[in-house]
Amino acid sequence: MSLGLRDPTPGLAPSLVRVPLLLAAIGVLTLGWSTLQFTCDDAYIAFRYVHNHMVGRGWTWNPPPFAPVEGYTSFAWLVLLELVWRATGVDPPSAANLLGLGFGVITLLLAMRLLDPLRLPRPTLVLGLVLLGTVTNRTFLQWTTSGLETSMFTAVFTWWLVEALGPPGARGRMFAAASLLCLVRPDGYLFLLASFALLAVAPAPWPSVSARLRVAAPALMVFAHLLWRRQTYGHWLPNTYFAKATGAWPEAGARYLASFVIENGVVVWIGLVLVAALVALVPLRRRLLSFPDVARSPGALVSATMLAHAAFYIVWMGGDHFEYRVFAHLILPLYVSGAWLAQWISPNPVWLVGGMLSFTMLSWPIAWTEWRLSLERSTREDTTLMVMPVADALPGPLKPAARAWEALQRWLVPHEIGVRLREHQVLASTFSASLPARRARSDGGWADGGVDGGPWGARPLTRLGSVGVVGWTYADVAIIDVFGLNDLVVARWKTRAEAGLDRRAAHDRLYPAGYMDCWRFNVTGGDTPATLNLMFHPEVPAMTDDEIRRCETIWFARALERKGGVR
């Protein structure tokens, strides 16, 4: 796919130039990764699932006889963490961010292949500008860390882009990438559907339907995983979807998108799109560019799929609890397409250099100023639902945009949308510092009234809100998750809006009255840093297997009845 205006220079920069550019980009990436490094509380939820599978309980939150719950959305990430743990002895909290950095490096390496099919003029300059924008963008850097699967998703998504925009002969690899993407996050289903569409409409060297189906063979592992999910958990979608998807919320998603656009300098990219659209109206351009051909090109379908994916989060989910996590994979494609647009507009390098540097430099002031100022806050009280004013710290011309961004943040963050990095850093570090050493010994026992990872036969049971770090530390304590991410009943109960309260991203479900009374909790603590060290109460009789099953059965049936039987 070329610009269609002139003979492009084939290929990318010679290796002698590419290698130093990539090494420099990897160096900046590593610096940014170490600067922004954190492990959020939700990552420890995944780590607990890995532990439970390691000790033979299966991919589940609480030990049997609790019903299996899929409170994660990243099966491939869990498998990778467990493989590393088994092979090297490095546990998930120690391995996750290093793996995230590795996937960040893979994404940068794939940038070269993503540029190649565009066959842009000045390939050395283009590569340098794309890498500069990507590795200095805070959103991209921030999500190479966190302990979540985001960096893996970004790398696999970029691989899918490379293969989808490549020659028809690459369709087999495209299906491999799309299928792996489905296992990294359910979002990947959309890109797998797009892969089938590309296979159906694009010219290809396969003479028969059966030949094309053989190309799509990697998708079989996705269908196998879906059947396994249904068999194991009884549902077609992860429990987290039911907990988080509480109805369309476009007014929130629009603000989330606007905040991302302002903070990341995407206004420049939008400007390039508008100018390119005007240029395309010139009669000469209309003759040189066949719009039906463009509509049938892989680029058009790929772009439509990316827009549909973003629209799902904007319109239906109302954004995301985390700071631009669901847009992190778009940073590199935005810079690549920005370079394409600039050279579409004019062969004059001023457009390329001016547009790309403006895009890059406008992504710095708000994002990095917010980060720098937020470092002054180090307690849970100072960082909970934190909105950091930045306008007064920026030059005059940037103040109006910064104040508009602050207004968006003042609406978003109290609704727990786009919660800032510093809050997640302080929450996890405070919990980790307040908790004892991790206790998950199969031969442990009770000591000094504290839960010491004792055998599950003692039936330690508690209820918590922030379940990640505590749940990983006390891996042998059953935990009722009051926000529903790991609870079948709460994930399907009423929302805050139904109770007349403000909506909250990811934490919008309320547990039913009487539900907690069904459980007999013999472990307390864990709600505040001062009480994180869980305490066992031997005077409280442990629940029997039959009592546990009865509570789950009765209340899950009520939850299904409330939802009209929808599982």
pLDDT score, position 13: 47
pTM greater than 0.75 (yes/no): yes
Q: What is the pLDDT of residue 79?
A: 98
User: For residues 95 and 170, is the Cβ–Cβ distance under 8 A?
Assistant: no
Could you give the CA distance from residue 483 to residue 480 in angstroms, rounded to a whole number?
9
Q: Which residues contact 470 (CB under 8 A, 6 or more apart)?
A: 431, 435, 464, 479, 526, 532, 534
294 closest CA partner among 276, 308, 269, 309: 276
Query: What does each of the 567 residues of the chain score in pLDDT, given as a tens digit?
Result: 344 333 344 444 456 778 899 999 999 999 999 999 999 999 999 999 999 999 999 999 999 999 999 999 999 999 999 999 999 999 999 999 999 999 999 999 999 899 987 888 888 899 999 999 999 999 999 999 999 999 999 999 999 999 999 887 778 899 999 999 999 999 999 999 999 998 887 665 655 667 777 888 999 999 999 999 999 999 999 999 999 999 999 999 999 999 999 999 999 999 999 998 888 777 655 544 444 454 457 888 999 999 999 999 999 999 999 999 999 999 999 999 999 999 989 889 999 999 999 999 999 999 999 999 999 999 999 999 999 999 999 999 999 999 999 999 999 999 999 999 999 999 988 888 878 777 544 333 433 334 444 557 788 999 998 899 999 988 889 999 999 999 999 999 999 999 999 999 999 999 999 999 999 999 988 666 556 778 888 889 999 999 999 999 999 999 998 865 455
pLDDT at residue 295, rounded to an integer:
46
Identify the DSSP state of 146.
B
Please count the other Cβ atoms lying within 10 Å of the Cβ belonging to residue 206: 16
The pLDDT value given to residue 530: 57
According to the model, what pLDDT value does residue 1 have?
36
Cα distance between residue 289 and residue 531, in whole Å: 66
pLDDT at position 202 is 66
Which H helix or E strand runs over 174? Answer: helix 171-184
Q: Is 369 left (phi over 0), alpha (psi -120 to 50) or beta?
A: alpha
Residues 232/58, Cβ–Cβ less than 8 Å: yes
**Pair type for strands 523-524 and 461-464:** unpaired
Q: Which two tokens stand for residue 213?
A: 């189906």
Q: How would you class 37 by CB atoms within 10 Å of its CB: exposed for 0-12, middle for 13-18, buried for 19 or more?
A: middle
Instruction: Please say whether the dihedral angle defined by the alpha carbons of residues 47, 49, 50 and 55, taken in this order, is positive or negative.
Output: positive
Pairing between strand 478-481 and 461-464? parallel
Per-residue HEC secondary structure of 214-252 comes to HHCHHHHHHHHHHHHHHHHHCCCCCHHHHHHCCCCCHHH
pLDDT at 206: 59
Number of Cβ atoms within 10 Å of the Cβ of 13: 21
- Measure the CA–CA gap between 426 and 424, rounded to whole angstroms: 6
